[in-house]
């Protein structure tokens, strides 16, 4: 069994932002040389998400509006977590969007349907954040 | 290490529908011959879900009502994604229900609690959709 | 390839409660002797969750309030599942929080960011429940 590990780094200018990281994950897969296996990609920070969906800007706008409806940022005082922090909503939004994805590796490729793309979802940006890629297989 | 891949196909008559796919996933596991490992089962389409819950029709009705409350289909015009599409709500509903499940394989069996069943959740049906089963182990 | 399986048992005094199970999961990892691989940790009951977030009591309060807003327990009669049961809300809450986490194992450690902790989320307590830990790797 082979394994491969890579950390992606982010420091995004906005509080909330989606970044298509499929090319970086695909690069990690090629570096690993793994042909058959499973790939885990997860946020290492608990106010961020890794998820799979469509790379379509209208949909990303809909996600932003929807997450603000389900878990609004303001007023910050509505959350007990916001004593010394102001990011309780980011913990909730990341819960909706998910911490991680697991992707099948087949014949050296991300085994995806036609529209599947991997996104980093930032909900408390303007600081250094990390994503882990771990691949096992052979 | 062994690996096994299988694609399940769907073309459901309704826009939204839940299908218990545990027998098909279990069949794939037996075909694989894998005794110890991990099984990934994921929707290959981004308006569908794979999730684990109870096979109880009352609960499935509750899911439908609840998802329509959290991410209503109509009016279609409330979503920016719905320019040429009408399925933005399906992307949101699948986000709540999840893209994938990972199941432990122990002694050649799906290592489940007593009520765990795997479902395909369709949120934009009446077209061809696919689910991937990937198993690694030995 | 090595594999290791362990079941954690719970019987919590409250209907809803969060328990930090990181020490138990870490103990299972050390028992396994696995240095590189993937660890799956999932609720074996469909009214409970395993998730990763911050061990901060204010945030846990916020989760409780938020889940009650998105999927209220009462009135029990609002859910069709609640014929002989009263726990439909627990199925919905667990859907939001997630059934499982997959964690990378690197150099014999849970490969976590600084604040990541694994929680058992109980949404229908006062009875015996189980969590599965399955580790594969070498």
Residue-wise pLDDT tens digits, A46-67? 999 999 999 999 999 999 999 9
Q: Are C118 and C25 in contact (CB under 8 A)?
A: yes
> What is the per-residue burial (b if ≥16 Cβ within 10 Å, else e) of A96-130?
bbbbbbbbbbbeeebbbbeebbbbbbbbbbeeebb
Closest CA of chain B from A17, distance in Å: 17
SS3 at position C119: strand
Residues of B in contact with A116 (CB under 8 A): 44, 46
Please report the beta strands in chain A, taking only residues with DSSP state E, as ranges in sequence order: 2-10, 17-20, 37-43, 48-53, 100-106, 109-110, 117-122, 129-137
Nearest chain A Cα distance for residue B53, angstroms: 17
What is the per-residue pLDDT for A58? Answer: 97
Instruction: Chain C: list its partners (3+ Cβ pairs within 8 Å).
Output: A, B
pLDDT in tens, C93-131: 999 999 999 999 999 999 999 999 999 999 999 999 999
Q: What is the pLDDT of residue C76?
A: 98
Q: A62 and B92: CB-CB below 8 Å?
A: yes
CA dihedral C107, C111, C117, C121 (to 10 degrees): -100
Q: What is the DSSP string of C15-35?
A: SSEEEE-HHHHHHHHHHHT--
Phi-psi region of C137 (alpha: psi -120 to 50; beta: other; left: phi over 0): left
pTM: 0.98
| pLDDT tens digits for range C18-32 | 999 999 999 999 999
Smallest CA–CA distance from A65 into chain B, residue:
B79
Instruction: Give the chain A residue whose CA is nearest to the CA of C63.
Output: A92
Per-residue confidence (pLDDT) for residue C138, from 0 to 100 = 97
CA distance A98 to C79: 26
Q: Is the dihedral of CA C31, C35, C37, C40 positive or negative?
A: positive
* Cis bond before residue B75 (omega within 30° of 0): yes
- Where b means 16+ CB within 10 Å and e means fewer, A15-42 reads bbbbeebbebbeebbeebebebbbbbbb
* pLDDT averaged over 10-residue windows placed end to end, chain A, 138 residues: 98 98 98 98 98 97 98 98 96 98 98 97 98 98
Q: What is the pLDDT along chain B (138 residues), one digit of tens a residue?
A: 999 999 999 999 999 999 999 999 999 999 999 999 999 999 999 999 999 999 999 999 999 999 999 999 999 999 999 998 999 999 999 999 999 999 999 999 999 999 999 999 999 999 999 999 999 999
Residues 6+ apart with CB under 8 A from A65: none
The DSSP string of A56-83 is -HHHHHHHHHHHHHHS---SGGG-TTTT
Q: Is C118 exposed, middle or buried (0-12, 13-18, 19+ CB in 10 A)?
A: buried
Question: Torsion-angle region of residue A113: left (phi > 0), alpha (psi -120 to 50) or beta?
Answer: beta
Write phi, then psi, for C69 (nearest 5 degrees): -75, -45
Neighbouring subunits of B (3+ Cβ pairs under 8 A): A, C
């Amino acid at each position: 069994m082979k394994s491969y590990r890579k950390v992606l780094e982010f420091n995004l200018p906005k509080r909330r932002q989606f970044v298509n990281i499929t090319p970086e994950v695909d690069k990690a897969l090629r570096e690993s040389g793994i042909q058959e296996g499973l790939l885990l990609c997860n946020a290492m920070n608990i106010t961020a998400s890794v998820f799979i969906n469509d790379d379509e800007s209208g949909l990303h706008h809909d996600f932003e509006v929807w997450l603000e409806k389900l878990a609004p940022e303001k007023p910050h005082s509505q959350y007990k977590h916001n004593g010394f922090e102001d990011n309780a909503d980011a913990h909730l939004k990341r819960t909706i969007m998910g911490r991680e994805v697991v992707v099948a590796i087949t014949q050296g490729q991300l085994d995806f349907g036609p529209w599947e793309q991997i996104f980093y979802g930032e909900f408390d940006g303007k600081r250094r954040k990390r994503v882990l890629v771990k691949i096992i297989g052979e």
